[in-house]
Amino acid sequence: MTTGRFFAALAFLWAAQFSKIDAWAQSQGSPVVIGETVQLRSDTLKESRSLLISKPAGYGNGTDRYPVLYLLDGETHFRYTAAIVDFLAANDRIPQMLVVGIASGDSRKRTHDLTPPSTAESDNRFSPGNGGADAFLSFLAGELIPYVDQTYRTRPYRLLAGHSLGGLFAIYALITKPKLFNGYIAADPSLYWNNQAVVAQAESFFLHTKSLQADFYMTATDLSDKVPSEVAKFNTALTTPPVGFRWKFAWMQQENHMSIPLPSIYRGLETVFEEWRLADPLELFDQGGIEAIHRRFREAGKRFGYPERTTPPFTVSLVVAALMSAGRLEEASKVLLHDTTAYPAPWNQLDALARAYEKRGDTEQAIRYYLLSLKQNLRNEFAKKKLTEMGIKIPELPQV
C-alpha cells in the first residue's frame, strides 16, 4: 500500500471511530463521575473541610479493602490523581486505592495549614499567618483518618502526597509523626522554608532513627542546572537511611514548579509500589526458584497491607514462558505443575510445552503434555490431531 493510500485508510478508520464516539456521546447524557464531595467538621480546626473522594471501580458491589492516598491541595490535584490511580491499578502497577483529596481553601488558609512556624523575615512578609502545620497534622491524625477508616473499607497502608508547601508538609509529617503514614510523595517541596529548618530537623531525625518501614519519593526542579542546596542537603541526610526505609529522588529539570506535580504523582506511585509488581520474574527465579517469587509477593503484600497476597497466576505464566523461550523445558514443566491447586496449568501453556518437546524430539514428554492440555480443554483439536499422529487413541485417554 502506498503512503498516500495508507493515510487515507487511516483517516477513514479515525473518522469512523470519532463518529462512533460522537454518536455515543449524543445518545448518552449521564455524567462521568470520578468521585464525591464530603464535608467534615473539625473540632481541631474549628471549621468544616471539603474532601474529594474517589473509590475504586466496583467498590459499591464488593467487600474488598483498599489502601488510601491522602492528597493535599485536593481541589488542584484530585482529578488527574484519581485518573492516574485508576490507570496504574488497571495495569496492576499499583493496588486499587481510595483517593482522599483535602481541599485547602484560599491561599492564606493553605499557607497556614501546610507550614510550621517561621522566624524568617521573608516568609512572614510574603506568607503571613503561617505556622499551622501541627494543628493540621492533629486534624489528620485525630479526625480525618479515623473518619475515613470508619466510613470506607480501608487497609492499614496510608500514603500522603503534596506539592510545594504540601511537599514540605509531607516531609514535616514524616519526621514528626513517622507512624501516621506509610508512604510519602513530596513534589518539589518548599524546603527553603524557615531557613531550611525542616531540613535540619530531618538530619537529626534520620541520624537518630535506626529503623522505619516507610516508602518515600521526592522530586525537584529549578531554573538553574543544579539541584537546590536545601534539596541536596536533605538527600545527604538520607545517605544511610533507617532500616526498612526505601527512598528515591528524581531531578525533573524538564518540568517547572507548576508542571511537576502530575509526573511526580505518576512516577511516585510507581516507585512507592515498585515491590507490588515484578518487572523481570525470570531474574528472580534464577536467584531462588519459584519460591523466591512467592516470597517476594508475600513480603510485598504485608508491606502494603495485603498479608493474604499471593503471586498472581499471570506472573507464574510469565516465568514458564520465559523458561520455554530459553529452551529450559524441564524447569518450565516443574514451574507449570508446581502447585496445580493454587495455579492450575493453563491448557495453552501445556500445549506450547508439548510442542516444544515435540520440536526437541522428545515424543514421550510431548504426548504427556498434549494429554494434559487436552484434559484441561477437551476442545483442543490441535492436541487431538497431534496425539492421533503419535498413535494415541483419543477415546482411550488414560487418567493423567
Domain ranges of the chain: 36-276
Closest CA to 271 of 218, 212, 235: 218
pLDDT of residue 14: 43
pLDDT of residue 225: 86
Q: What is the mean pLDDT of each run of 10 residues along the chain (400 residues)?
A: 38 41 58 93 96 96 97 98 98 96 95 96 92 98 98 98 98 98 98 98 97 98 93 96 98 97 98 94 96 96 96 95 96 97 96 96 95 91 92 64
Average pLDDT value for the chain: 91
Fold of 36-276: Rossmann fold (3.40.50)
H/E stretch holding 138: helix 133-139
pLDDT of residue 9: 38
pLDDT of residue 203: 97
pLDDT of residue 26: 53
Residue 292 near residue 316, CB atoms below 8 Å:
no
102 phi/psi in degrees, rounded to 5 = -100, 110
Please count the CA atoms within 13 angstroms of the CA of 288 that sit on its side-chain side: 7
Terminal C-alpha separation, the chain: 51
pLDDT of residue 392: 87
- The residue written with cell numbers 474532601 in the block is 51
- The residue written with cell numbers 495455579 in the block is 343
| E-only strand ranges, the chain | 36-42, 47-54, 66-72, 98-102, 154-163, 183-187, 211-220, 243-251
